[in-house]
Each structure stands twice: as C-alpha cells, then as structure tokens.
Structure 1
Amino acid sequence: MADRTIVCKDCSKEFVFTEGEQEFYKEKGFENDPVRCPECRKARKAQSNNNRGFRR
C-alpha cells in the first residue's frame, strides 16, 4: 500500500491518505476512503455535535 492523494469534496484541497491511515481504516472495517480532508472532517464533526446539543 502507498500513500494516496485525495481531493476534499468540501474545500477541493488535496490531502494525503497515508499508508498508516489506510491500515487503520482497513482494521476498523471501513470500506470507503475518506472524502473530506482532516480539517473539513473536524469542522463537520463539530457542527454535527453542536446541532445535537452536545457541549464541549
């Protein structure tokens, strides 16, 4: 397995899906590659948590 470059579907920036991350996804049973960069994933998760009434 080699590092792969993916384009974020939200911000259109390229990000690297490392070999280690690919192994992690495989171990967790995830079948799809990430479609968002780490920054957009973090922002989306924070927004989702805010909409559910969670506090941090």
Structure 2
Amino acid sequence: MKRNKTLAVWQYPFLLALLTLIGLVWALVEEGWVDYLCSFLLLIPILVILKNYYKK
C-alpha cells in the first residue's frame, strides 16, 4: 500500500519533469517548427505552477 501512496504523490511532478526534459532535449536537437512545440512543452509546467499559485 505504501508504494501506491508514493506513486500518487509523485506522479504529476514526475510527468512535469519528464515534459520539461523532453522539451529541453528536443529543442537542442531539432530546429524549425519543433522549436514552437518545445516552447509549449516548457510552458506547461509554468502554467501549472501559476494556476495553482492563483488558485486561492
């Protein structure tokens, strides 16, 4: 049961970190229209943080 609780707590931070890592690596490797996609991937964690900050 402890494993499920740990997974429940860390699933969204892990997903945001994974999106950020993919966006950073892909931006370094590719050029062109992919840069816009990478910018969007890097923007997702910022939007989530802002949404939760202004939630109150």
Q: Same fold (TM over 0.5)?
A: no
Tell me the TM-score normalized by structure 1: 0.38
Larger % of helix: which?
A: 2
Tell me the TM-score normalized by structure 2: 0.38
